[in-house]
Amino acid sequence: MGDERIWTAGLVVIGDEILSGRTQDRNIAQLAAWLNVQGIRLHEVRVVGDTTPAIVEAVNALRSACDYCFTTGGIGPTHDDITVDAIAQALGVGVVHHPAAMAILKAYYATRGGLSEARARMARVPDGAALIENRVSGAPGIRIGNVFIMAGVPHITAGMLDALTGTLEGGRPVVSRTIGCWVAESEVADLLRAVEKAHRGGGAEVAIGSYPFFRDGRTGANFVVRSPDPNAADACLADLAARLEATGREVVADGI
């Protein structure tokens, strides 16, 4: 198990609207959950503005550091959509109009006023790229090497991820098991540390996360056991549950 290949991904979220606080990002959580199912771990996210140097630097950093590099945002028809040009620059290739993308857009806009020059911008791809099917609207996503260029609008990206499902090589998905307890996490800090240490002892990859909350005037915490090995996760959870119950506190299966 210790020699198992771990597949990783990075995400570059592109958009002034995220950095200005205007828009609440939804793509980080969406991509993270999707990657889990593919057996790929989201290793790092960078959020950068709509400027070429920032995009180039972030994409180059994460496509080197990770097996896969995803981007969201900046692939529409307007002047602030510079993702394709920036990524082409990062990869040192030119930008071309992809013939299949042109055909898709032509068909899509046939009943919507026709394919203008602005709309044809959405067929521009880094030279050598393949398309990712867009099941929601016209303009496709783009794949070049290990870089996946997705939309900024979350439900369009959801459709693109759906089209990619099962096509990327990954490892064993990380499973997670949650248990809740009406306790201040500081009261069980030593207990948590001891359980995690015990279950890592055999070389298994098991981690316990502690997420405190304050609700309806009561202090509680959820504890999340994560592991690529379901048996290791179950064993750790059972041990954790037993030790929490031994403190006399109320324990809630599957979290509070």
Using CB under 8 A as the criterion, which residues of the chain lie in contact with its own copies when the complex forms? 13, 16-26, 28-36, 41-50, 54, 58, 76-81, 112-113, 116-119, 121-122, 137, 153, 174, 176, 184-187, 189-190, 192-193, 196, 207-214, 224, 226
Instruction: Give me the residues paired with residue 37 across strands.
Output: none
CA 242 vs CA 53, 221, 222: distances in Å = 53, 16, 15
Alpha helices for 66-168 (secondary structure H): 83-91, 99-109, 117-120, 154-164
Q: What is the C-alpha separation between 74 and 6, in angstroms, rounded?
A: 30
Nearer of residues 9 and 144 to its own copies, judged by Cβ: 9
Structure-block tokens of residue 24: 């609440």
The kind and range of the H/E element at 211 are: strand 207-215
Nearer of residues 45 and 236 to its own copies, judged by Cβ: 45
CB of 10 to its own copies, least distance (A): 10
Percent of residues in the chain assigned helix, strand, coil, to nearest 5: 40, 25, 35
CB of 124 to its own copies, least distance (A): 13
CB of 179 to its own copies, least distance (A): 14
Nearer of residues 96 and 184 to its own copies, judged by Cβ: 184
Q: What is the C-alpha separation between 51 and 56, in angstroms, rounded?
A: 9
CB of 178 to its own copies, least distance (A): 8
Nearer of residues 2 and 92 to its own copies, judged by Cβ: 2
CB of 249 to its own copies, least distance (A): 13
Nearer of residues 117 and 254 to its own copies, judged by Cβ: 117
